[in-house]
Structures are given as C-alpha cells and as structure tokens.
Amino acid sequence: MSNRGAFIAIEGLDRSGKTTQVATLQARLESEGIPVKLFKFPDRTTAIGIMIDSYLRSQSELDDRAIHLLFSANRWELAGAIEQLLAEGTTVVCDRYAFSGVAFSTAKGLSFEWCRSPEVSLPAPDVTLFLDISPEKARERGGYGDERYEKEEMQRKVRDVFRQISTEFDEARWVTLDAGRRREDVAADVWNCVQPFTSGLASPLQRLWN
C-alpha cells in the first residue's frame, strides 16, 4: 500500500509570516513534484466561515463560546476533505489550525480545557511549525491590522497560551521557529522540518488530543 500524505500545520502570531511561509512551502513542494493542498483557517468561504468573517471584522457580535464553537465547526466541516486528501497521498498544509482556536479563546478568558474539547479527535498534524515573533518585531512589519484580535495586549496573551500548548507535544510534533528573521532563513528552516515528510507516511493519521 502506498504512503498517505503528510499533514503539516503552520501556526503563529499575527504578522509572523504564516501566509508568506505557506506560499513558499507550497511552491517548494510543487517544484519537487509533491502533490499539495493548502487550507487556511478560518476558511471564510463556507456558510460558517462567513459568520466568522463578519465577527472578526466587528460587523456582528457573538458570545465568546459561540464564536469558539464556530471556529471549531469550520475545521470539522473540512476535516473529511483533509482526511480524504491525505489518504490519496496529498500533502496537506494548514495556515492556522485548532491550536489557534484554543490559543485565542483561552487568551480571551475561557478555560483552556473547555476550549480544547471541541477540537478533540480532529485529524492531528504530523508536525506543527509555530512561527514565533515578538510584538515589537510584528509592529515593524506594518503593525497589526484592523480586525478584532489584532491588538498587542491580546497577541501577548495568545503567545503565552501557544507556549502552554507547545508543552503538550514532543519536539518531533511541535517545532517553534524564530519568525523574526529574514523570510529566506525562516523558509529554509520550514523546509528542513517538512522535507523528511515528503515521501509520505506509512503510519496512520492520529487524532488530536485523543
């Protein structure tokens, strides 16, 4: 039986360069002839994603728990497609995933355990690359945007929760990269982490926090 595709999550703070690195990684994988599909969470194109988008732009108000569950539901509605692609041998790269869900909602004051529960049993990334950046460096990149969570105090709290999450995974599954460096240097580290997965995996896909 042929190997399944690898599941790679790119996580990080606002302005850490996730979108930049995901695009570079996609180009590199394609140039190596490896089938790859990108997902970006939230996926603002679905019915649930449209509600999330409206909330993030402050065009609607929602209870903190309700928006948390919508972010999670947005992942669950695409989980089947992710699993199918992986089974077919496609490498899946996610720009943000369940860890962002837990980090942002916990930073707002909800309990970590409560935030984690709807994410339990989602397909687990084979490796998560966390792009770490200080708020000072992020500010140098043109500052945060206008959306709801794009404020320095919030980003500091989110960074703390990401650190807490990282302690739950061994070094093979969670890699923290200094994203405050040149794009090329970060991309080289991203590739070094992903390259070992490019032949796919014989091991079954794991479930998150099971």
Binding residues for ligand Z5A, rule: CB under 6 A, are 12, 14-20, 41-42, 56, 71, 96, 100-101, 104, 141-142, 145, 147, 149-150, 182-183, 186
Q: Which of 14, 66, 70, 8 is nearest to 42 (CA)?
A: 70
**CB of 101 or CB of 125, closer to ligand Z5A:** 101
Task: Write phi, then psi, for 126 (nearest 5 degrees).
Answer: -70, -30
The helix/strand/coil state of 149 is: coil
The least CB distance from residue 101 to ligand Z5A, in Å, is 3
**CB of 5 or CB of 135, closer to ligand Z5A:** 135
**CB of 89 or CB of 150, closer to ligand Z5A:** 150
Does a cis peptide bond (omega within 30 degrees of 0) precede residue 42?
yes
The least CB distance from residue 112 to ligand Z5A, in Å, is 14
**CB of 97 or CB of 197, closer to ligand Z5A:** 97
Check residue 134 and report its DSSP letter: -
DSSP 39-67: EESS-TTSHHHHHHHHHHTTSS---HHHH
